[in-house]
Structure 1
Amino acid sequence: MAVTPTVAKGAPGIPARWTSSAKSGVGTALSARSPLWFTTSHGILNEIYYPRLDSACTRDLGLIVTGPDGYFSEEKRDAAHAVEPFEDGVPGYRLTNTASDGAYKIEKRLVTDSKRPVLLQETSFTAIKGQAADYRVYALLAPHLVNAGMGNTAWIGEHKGERLLFATGRGVSLALASSLPWGACSAGYVGFSDGWRQLHDSCALDPSCHTAEDGNVALTGEIGFSAGKTVALLALGFGASPEEAADLALASLKQGFEPAAKTYVDNWRTFQARLEKLDRRAASGLNTYRASTAVLATHLSVARPGAAVASLSIPWGFNKGDDDLGGYHLVWPRDLVETAGGFLAAGDGRQALQILAYLRSIQQPDGHWPQNVWSDGTAYWPGIQMDECAFPLLLADALRRAGHLPKSKLADFLAMIENAAAYVVRNGPVTGEDRWEEDAGYSPFTLAVEIAGLLAAADMLDACGKNEPANYLRETADCWNDQIERWTFVTGTEAGAKAGVEGYYVRIA
């Protein structure tokens, strides 16, 4: 009986939400031809970012296993997860998910294709109980194109004779291809007609669910595992149109996993080779230094040199919907300076200098930096935090002390330094207003950054022959330093008595 494809029921789906920010891995190809960043947790892919690292385009991509007598298992919820990087400092990953009931094992390898914006997931399925033929394995993909779960359209389609799973929204499209032909597929609305719901309720996909328009949508496809074919390569491509995304996914699929993985690893080895050899291993065997430098580098923009987001995640994602686009995948000047400090400590002064140049480019005319910005420099939250206005002064001084900002180069940043120091003097020493959890007040942390920042600025002004303003900054810093205890140290409190201490510094006063 022929089935007429229809739009799935349940539009527009339940309100969209993001996922856990407890990441076990982040990665990217370190290639301008592959503006794609991915994250993993709970044994599956989570947010994938494209074409900028502040544009999340998926919620997650995981597998569902069904079997005899209504058997239903979702790997992210119903399995034990192990994650292992390819090698020290190379954020390609081997994921092993073993079903909690001992029924199956799923093994994956993850990289992005350095030649194009495609994520590659090599997937193998092994039956531990019964035969492989007893089970069916489905890929479940939740598109959240360009920082939003609502307003996406998903469908099952064909491109150049190949069947693919498509989605589009806000000028970006994705296409999911498989090296083993897709079996049953569906596109539905989350919470009503999505593949998870269909498989959970009836252990089968409804072939009439062919399209889901303008909502919170999900794509599901059965991976064509069989007795002789136990490994599948999934290629998730991104582009400005469905056709472009499909072309790229199919090109990566044709190239195969091994060539992509080799280039990916080589790119990361080249990056790691230019860093200081400060390797150290945790009790787990993880090389924490190389893992840390890989995490820092994964958060860098390819389009805007020197830009880096605070985190490829959306904190409290289970509770965050489309009304809060920001998350931590924004540039926070404080976190960016700390990232630069990490690169400087690892011996990559060039990268730290690029970060300072980027900060100069997004400084506001009055001398401050916004609380956070998109990577193109557009402010997101309108709040102002005074430590974020002083931190770039400390970065400039650290670069100068390390020999990366000699007097000739320092002059290029002099206007930035003067404007930032003047803003701190005019608006400090209180913390400033923000959009997080703080009210304005006196904070020991902010005071420390402001005072140190003014002293650093004074040294740099001195180096450029501007002695009078330098002396003024030092006098201001000394004055504030003398007041720290009066502003932030308390005595005779109930909390102090409980802790058995006479007094303590408060977080904010």
Structure 2
Amino acid sequence: MNDQMQQHLRKKPYLVDAIAGNSAMLVSLGSTGRLYRLWWPHIDYPQHVDEIRTGLKIGSTPGGVTWFDDPAEGWAHAASYVPGTNAYRVVSTHSTFPVEVEQTDFAIPGQSIMARGYRITNTGHDPLKLDFFHYGSFRIMENELYMTTEFYGDHDALLHFRHQYAFAVGSTAICSGYQAGQGAWKQSCEGALNGSRIDMKPDGSVQWTITDIEPGQSVVLPVYIAAGHSRKEALEALETAKSKTYDDWFNDMVAYWADYLSAAAPCPGGNERISALYERSLLAMKLMADEATGTIVAAPEFDETFSRCGGYAYSWGRDAAFVTTAFNKAGLGALTEKFYDWAITAQEPDGSWQQRHYHDGSLAPHWGLQIDEGSSLIWGMWEYYLHSGERPEFVERMWPSIEKGAAFLAKFIDPETGLPLPSMDLWEERLAEHTYSAAAVFGGLSAAASFARRKGNNGLADQWETLAQRIAASIEEHCWNEDKGAYYRGLKLNVSPWDYEASVAGGARGTVKPRDKSYQSFVLDYDSIVDISLLGLAVPFGAVPVDNPRMTRTADAIEALLTSPKVGGIKRYENDTYIGGNPWILTTLWLGHYRTLQGRYDEARRHLEYALEHTTPSGLLPEQVDRETGETAWVVPLTWSHAMFVLAVHMLAERGELPTN
């Protein structure tokens, strides 16, 4: 790993411990209180922070500033969410200094303000004098260049700005020192800011002096990061932050999240562990739904350089369809409806939905069409329509988009197999006629047909229903693999020339087909890998009945072949190598969904328990669990994981099978 990448990961690790925000401003945080990233005014883009550090210089103690987030400097930390909120609290104690720092991070609801409250307690026997330092380096608009940092004396604020974004840092307490630009980090570490007022640099520091903290006494210092689309807006936002006490803002935040949770359906049953994760899931999922647009993103971004993956802070129609169904079950249908109002703005002129999108509906970096994305959206619209009481006004708003979308699906059929034409699979790794994608198109066309009947267009409804049933029949005709006792993952799998040669030499059948510009495609007849997504045939799309013997055998093959041997949990598919080939939370819960529908409740509860046992220390669900250690392996939090948990809870509760203690 090169020095530049090592430096980047030191500032911004892949795995974070918590997120906080208000659905317009989002931050990711570490268990030491380190703020790694800050997005505003949308939760996916742009990100603005390079590095933010806070620390103390205690009295005349030699050695300069000690930074809270550095365990090497003698700090120990205990971190958790403030119950019932998206505020993250870290209590830091020092092995030598007689001080405890309780840091609470939250975004103020309805404001472009991040509040960072520091309650500093003298745990010693003598009065304490200290200086508090806030160092900030901003990478505004995810750009390293053309920043300016300036101290505004009239506002007692350090302002970082570039183009149409500005961030003002200040407090209700009057600062005792500042430095803009050149050398700010070095001077901060030494605890001696030089008063430089302006520099065309991204970083700067502010210092507050706190004197005469008596033994046992606590002092609260709020630090606000206020955002705006101009210097004026950011400074005005900071003045808004200063217009109320920190305690008032904190109480407003607590009330906001209490109102949100009270509007949701309470967690069924009475199991405390399930209820706690259910509540945390609803809180996390809200932060992943953009306040302005309704976009639902997969996760807060953690790999913006695409060093190990293709990024996660985008909206996938498939993920969102699962998330909105969870919102429905949780009584939060307003978030679902807002999302689908957004989704119709992301549709292509030809009626398709592409793989993933930014908050404004524009196409994000992608690998090509995934036909399950658009079909999942239409299916999700129907699920919401049923949940919402079959309101005709929702149909009227969605219908033009549904009609175009279903027409695209109807044309995207291979006449040879009766399945949807080749597209990328749900894991974005291979091009084929995927069985899961066929099930999703079945679900989308069936939903579109139901909408058409509500519109009185029975001819169109019959056409789409007939096509959906043909797809279901084609799955049975072409996609069963008796050798493995499971459905094929797909047909007409495109592979590399060398993989093709090796597969054909091993007995596989395939075809080399001419392509454009004299290129060739190397296509295997079948993809026989067992994949968790095959459960999608039955749940959620219903292309194959749950009790179909083939479906039952497929689920059993999934459990036998994909259970991780050391730590349990279900992998995505055979020979998965992504991040080492770990079990995933959502895949484990997916099998739990199927077992619930089968009536195999003990097994379903076991899969639910797996999620409960593999939360992060802050109570969030990751994407993956390390196959060797059982620790969190990748992506925190993953919205889809939380949605699958909420759905699993309701599926068991609806059958009276949710654990109560």
TM tier, smaller: 0.7 to 0.9
Between 1:342-351 and 1:91-100, the stretch displaced more is 91-100
Distance 1:121 1:224 in 2: 17
Question: Which of the numbers 332, 347, 354 marks the counterpart of 1:348?
Answer: 332
Question: Which of the numbers 300, 306, 315 marks the counterpart of 1:331?
Answer: 315
**1:423-464, Cα deviation, whole Å (9 max, x unpaired):** 334446356259986232244443432333333334444554
Distance 1:142 1:283 in 2: 41
**1:400-442, Cα deviation, whole Å (9 max, x unpaired):** 3335435674354333223223333444635625998623224
Q: Does 1:439 align with 2:430?
A: yes
Please say if residues 431 and 442 of structure 1, whose CA atoms lie closer than 8 Å, have aligned partners that are also in contact: yes
Q: Does 1:225 align with 2:226?
A: no
Distance 1:109 1:262 in 2: 13
AA aligned to 2:81 is P
AA aligned to 2:263 is R
**1:48-71, Cα deviation, whole Å (9 max, x unpaired):** 322222332324533133453326
Between 1:431-440 and 1:452-461, the stretch displaced more is 431-440
Question: Which of the numbers 363, 372, 378 marks the counterpart of 1:379?
Answer: 363
SS in 1 for 2:429: coil
Q: CA deviation at 1:346?
A: 0.2
Which residue does the alignment assign to 2:407? 422
Distance 2:78 2:448 in 1: 48
| Greater RCO (CA < 8 Å, at least 6 residues apart) | 1
Distance 1:97 1:444 in 2: 51
Q: Does 1:55 align with 2:39?
A: no
SS in 2 for 1:392: helix
SS in 2 for 1:470: helix
Distance 1:501 1:438 in 2: 20
SS in 1 for 2:70: helix
- Give the TM-score of the pair, scaled to structure 2: 0.62
AA aligned to 1:390 is S
AA aligned to 1:358 is W
Please say if residues 47 and 58 of structure 1, whose CA atoms lie closer than 8 Å, have aligned partners that are also in contact: yes
Q: Does 1:238 align with 2:234?
A: no
Which residue does the alignment assign to 2:191? 204
Distance 1:163 1:434 in 2: 54
Distance 1:288 1:247 in 2: 38
SS in 1 for 2:399: helix
Which residue does the alignment assign to 2:78? 82
- Cα distance change on mapping 1:15 and 1:98 into 2, 3 Å: closer
Q: Does 1:183 align with 2:176?
A: yes
Which residue does the alignment assign to 1:164? 157
- Cα distance change on mapping 1:58 and 1:434 into 2, 3 Å: farther
**1:447-484, Cα deviation, whole Å (9 max, x unpaired):** 43233333333444455413133212321342145333
**1:171-213, Cα deviation, whole Å (9 max, x unpaired):** 1111111233223322336xxx342x3444xx23351654331
Distance 1:168 1:435 in 2: 40
- Cα distance change on mapping 1:506 and 1:93 into 2, 3 Å: closer
Which residue does the alignment assign to 1:449? 440
Which residue does the alignment assign to 1:256? 245
Q: Could you list the runs of 5+ residues in structure 1 that have no partner in the other structure?
A: 1-13
Distance 2:25 2:382 in 1: 33
SS in 1 for 2:480: helix
Distance 2:257 2:115 in 1: 17
- Cα distance change on mapping 1:412 and 1:222 into 2, 3 Å: closer
Please say if residues 332 and 371 of structure 1, whose CA atoms lie closer than 8 Å, have aligned partners that are also in contact: yes
Please say if residues 281 and 288 of structure 1, whose CA atoms lie closer than 8 Å, have aligned partners that are also in contact: no
Q: CA deviation at 1:399?
A: 2.1
Q: Does 1:310 align with 2:305?
A: no
Distance 1:342 1:100 in 2: 45
Which residue does the alignment assign to 1:369? 353
Distance 2:319 2:529 in 1: 31
- Give the TM-score of the pair, scaled to structure 1: 0.79
Aligned length: 471
SS in 1 for 2:356: coil
Distance 1:431 1:507 in 2: 22
Between 1:441-450 and 1:46-55, the stretch displaced more is 441-450
Please say if residues 29 and 264 of structure 1, whose CA atoms lie closer than 8 Å, have aligned partners that are also in contact: no
Distance 1:261 1:481 in 2: 57
Distance 1:117 1:276 in 2: 29
AA aligned to 2:140 is L
Distance 1:507 1:461 in 2: 42
AA aligned to 1:432 is S
Which residue does the alignment assign to 1:7? none
Q: Please list, as runs of the form range in 1=range in 2, the aligned pairs for 1:81-230 lying within 5 A after superposition.
A: 81-88=77-84, 90-99=85-94, 104-114=99-109, 116-126=111-121, 133=128, 135-159=130-154, 162-188=155-181, 193-195=183-185, 197-200=186-189, 203-207=190-194, 209-213=196-200, 217-228=202-213, 230=219
- Cα distance change on mapping 1:470 and 1:153 into 2, 3 Å: same
- Cα distance change on mapping 1:231 and 1:348 into 2, 3 Å: closer
Q: CA deviation at 1:507?
A: 8.4
Distance 2:291 2:54 in 1: 31
AA aligned to 2:243 is K
Distance 2:180 2:339 in 1: 42
Which residue does the alignment assign to 1:6? none
Which residue does the alignment assign to 1:267? 256
- Cα distance change on mapping 1:356 and 1:235 into 2, 3 Å: same
Please say if residues 151 and 198 of structure 2, whose CA atoms lie closer than 8 Å, have aligned partners that are also in contact: yes
Distance 2:575 2:373 in 1: 17
**1:269-312, Cα deviation, whole Å (9 max, x unpaired):** 222222111167887797111211111222222322x323322x
- Cα distance change on mapping 1:501 and 1:251 into 2, 3 Å: closer
Please say if residues 431 and 446 of structure 1, whose CA atoms lie closer than 8 Å, have aligned partners that are also in contact: no
Which residue does the alignment assign to 1:25? 18
Between 1:45-54 and 1:93-102, the stretch displaced more is 93-102
- Cα distance change on mapping 1:364 and 1:129 into 2, 3 Å: same
**1:143-164, Cα deviation, whole Å (9 max, x unpaired):** 22233343322123322xx421
Q: CA deviation at 1:343?
A: 0.8
Please say if residues 65 and 191 of structure 2, whose CA atoms lie closer than 8 Å, have aligned partners that are also in contact: no
Q: Does 1:395 align with 2:380?
A: yes
Distance 2:212 2:240 in 1: 27
Please say if residues 111 and 260 of structure 1, whose CA atoms lie closer than 8 Å, have aligned partners that are also in contact: no
**1:88-128, Cα deviation, whole Å (9 max, x unpaired):** 2x222332123466764211233333463222222123355
Q: Does 1:44 align with 2:34?
A: yes
Distance 1:152 1:279 in 2: 51
- Cα distance change on mapping 1:492 and 1:128 into 2, 3 Å: farther
Distance 1:257 1:280 in 2: 37
SS in 1 for 2:331: coil
- Cα distance change on mapping 1:342 and 1:194 into 2, 3 Å: farther
The percentage of counterpart residues that share the same residue type is 16
Please say if residues 370 and 381 of structure 1, whose CA atoms lie closer than 8 Å, have aligned partners that are also in contact: no
**1:296-352, Cα deviation, whole Å (9 max, x unpaired):** 222222322x323322x22235x569xx9x943332222322221121010222332
Distance 2:199 2:268 in 1: 50
Distance 2:436 2:449 in 1: 20
